[in-house]
């Protein structure tokens, strides 16, 4: 296996650090628009080399694949570049993995009730081409989507006879402090992606609505607030509906009546996102400022601390998982949360990477190891819930970061 890792940012760097401890691959070419950043990430292992790539150009991606005889392209840049990397991999005859899918476009007339172009639609539209070429695009294989989809498949296979709802729930008790001990505002994940996720109309899937738009519909941002009590000391966090890939992926392959995604943003963060939206600072089109042109959202990203650098000043744990409600194998009502928690102190001490990016990056490393072994395989554009979940969950434990499971009191 010869891997091309595109993107040497927070997640790409953590991917390289995790992969460096495994022996399932022959080589990894780490490519970034910023060649110096790629070189820093490549310095940790003799099997790594660095390259420069323009991720917006499928030809640049394909040329790099051919030059290095790449078998698997690992996309670790922001989702604006999904399509050129996805197309470049296929053009070069490589398999492909990503952690976020092609972007959505809101419904032009009724954006807060109806779906427009959905997350992943552009990729799923090309599934036939990938199947015909005998190549696999394993999409959405980060932590969410990714591990959440694996856990949902596990619940469907092993724990439930009937599923009422597959509800991905993400929460944390992370805090970042400056050198004087004052808490500062420093999101632990790409603010560009977070704004995209949180201000787009959240999407929900319901079986009962399948005759309209296939069952998918949208709501206003931050809808259906709910306090979810996260495990391992994180505690209760306010969660709201957010547009996320799981809702577009799980209903294609798993049986459930309803599929949702709620993110534990917390009140302060919701307030910040609302304000950015109110002022137009979430805009991605360029505005003229004095003599230059700049996209306001890029300015927001530029003034905030780089998520890849806040690890040493961050404390707390992050939790990803899926809350499954329905009828258990014993015919009784069941409500179970299957989850994965990472403590920032542990990931910093063990890998030197902060917990949120580390938790994202471990999943594609495991997936690639399963593909190398032949435990996972396939052709077409497929999600992690199409693959057997047990070998994945076993490897998670072997990598030193096991998953967990808890029963959740039912509530209305």
Contacting residues toward a copy of itself, per CB under 8 A = 185, 271-272, 275-276, 278-281, 283, 287-290, 292-296, 298-300, 302-304
Instruction: Judge whether 97 and 123 are in contact, CB under 8 Å.
Output: no
CB of 325 to a copy of itself, least distance (A): 36
Nearer to a copy of itself, 186 or 382 (CB): 186
Nearer to a copy of itself, 278 or 332 (CB): 278
Nearer to a copy of itself, 303 or 410 (CB): 303
Give CA angle at 53 (370, 146), nearest 5°.
30
Euclidean distance between CA atoms 4 and 73, whole angstroms: 5
CB of 268 to a copy of itself, least distance (A): 9
Nearer to a copy of itself, 180 or 411 (CB): 180
CB of 295 to a copy of itself, least distance (A): 8
In three-state secondary structure terms, 274 is: helix
CB of 241 to a copy of itself, least distance (A): 22
Instruction: Judge whether 102 and 248 are in contact, CB under 8 Å.
Output: no
Q: What is the DSSP letter of 33?
A: S
Instruction: Judge whether 122 and 161 are in contact, CB under 8 Å.
Output: no
CB of 302 to a copy of itself, least distance (A): 5
Nearer to a copy of itself, 288 or 411 (CB): 288
Nearer to a copy of itself, 117 or 304 (CB): 304
Alpha-carbon distances, residue 41 vs 44, 47, 65, 127, 288 (angstroms) = 7, 12, 19, 32, 35
In three-state secondary structure terms, 125 is: coil
Sign of CA dihedral 299, 303, 306, 307: negative
Alpha-carbon distances, residue 314 vs 174, 180, 183, 402 (angstroms) = 7, 13, 10, 22
Nearer to a copy of itself, 303 or 409 (CB): 303
b/e string for 286-302 if b means 16 or more Cβ within 10 A?
eeeeeeeeebbbeebbe
Alpha-carbon distances, residue 64 vs 2, 6, 17, 89 (angstroms) = 12, 10, 22, 10
CB of 404 to a copy of itself, least distance (A): 34
Instruction: Judge whether 383 and 249 are in contact, CB under 8 Å.
Output: yes
In three-state secondary structure terms, 315 is: strand
Euclidean distance between CA atoms 382 and 258, whole angstroms: 20
Sign of CA dihedral 200, 201, 206, 211: negative
Nearer to a copy of itself, 32 or 245 (CB): 32
Contacts of 394 by beta carbon, 8 Å cutoff, 6+ apart: none
CB of 301 to a copy of itself, least distance (A): 8
Nearer to a copy of itself, 298 or 398 (CB): 298
Nearer to a copy of itself, 52 or 283 (CB): 283
CB of 287 to a copy of itself, least distance (A): 5
CB of 281 to a copy of itself, least distance (A): 6
CB of 275 to a copy of itself, least distance (A): 4
Nearer to a copy of itself, 305 or 378 (CB): 305
- Angle between helix axes 58-67 and 82-91 (nearest 10 degrees) is 40
Contacts of 78 by beta carbon, 8 Å cutoff, 6+ apart: 100, 190, 192, 193
CB of 194 to a copy of itself, least distance (A): 13
Q: Tell me the sheet residues that pair with 228.
A: 237
């Amino acid at each position: 296996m010869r891997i091309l890792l595109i993107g040497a940012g927070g997640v790409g760097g953590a991917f390289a650090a995790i992969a460096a401890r495994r022996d399932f691959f022959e080589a990894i070419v780490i490519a970034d628009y910023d060649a110096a950043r790629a070189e820093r990430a490549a310095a940790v292992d003799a099997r790594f080399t660095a390259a420069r790539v323009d991720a917006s150009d499928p030809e640049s991606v394909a040329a790099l694949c051919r030059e290095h005889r790449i078998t698997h392209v690992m996309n670790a840049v922001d989702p604006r570049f999904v399509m050129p990397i996805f197309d470049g991999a296929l053009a070069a005859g490589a398999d492909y993995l990503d952690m976020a899918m092609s972007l959505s476009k809101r419904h032009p007339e009724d954006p807060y009730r109806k779906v427009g172009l959905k997350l992943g639609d552009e990729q799923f539209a090309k599934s036939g081409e990938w199947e015909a070429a005998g190549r696999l695009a394993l999409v959405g294989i980060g932590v969410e989507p990714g591990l959440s989809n694996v856990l949902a498949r596990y619940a469907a296979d092993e724990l439930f006879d009937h599923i009422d709802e597959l509800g991905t729930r993400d929460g944390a008790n992370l805090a970042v402090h400056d050198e004087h001990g004052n808490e500062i505002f420093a999101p632990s994940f790409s603010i560009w992606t977070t704004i995209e996720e949180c201000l787009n109309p959240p999407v929900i899937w319901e079986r009962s609505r399948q005759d309209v738009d296939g069952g998918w519909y949208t709501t206003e941002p931050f809808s259906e607030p709910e306090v979810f009590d996260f495990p391992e000391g994180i505690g209760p966090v306010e969660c709201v509906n957010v547009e996320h890939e799981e809702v577009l992926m799980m209903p294609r392959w798993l049986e459930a009546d309803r599929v949702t995604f709620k993110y534990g943003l917390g009140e302060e963060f919701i307030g910040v996102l609302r304000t950015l939206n109110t002022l137009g600072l979430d805009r991605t089109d360029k505005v003229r400022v004095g003599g230059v042109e700049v996209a306001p959202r890029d300015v927001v990203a530029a003034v905030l601390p780089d998520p890849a650098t806040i690890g040493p000043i961050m404390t707390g744990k992050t939790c990803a998982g899926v809350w499954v409600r329905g009828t258990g194998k014993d015919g009784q009502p069941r409500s179970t949360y299957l989850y994965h928690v990472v403590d920032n102190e542990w990931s910093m001490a063990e890998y030197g990477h902060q917990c949120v990016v580390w938790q994202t990056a471990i999943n594609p490393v495991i997936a690639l190891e399963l593909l190398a072994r032949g435990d996972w395989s396939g052709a077409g554009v497929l999600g992690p819930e199409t693959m057997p979940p047990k070998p994945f969950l076993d490897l998670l434990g072997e990598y030193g970061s096991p998953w967990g499971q808890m029963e959740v009191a039912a509530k209305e």
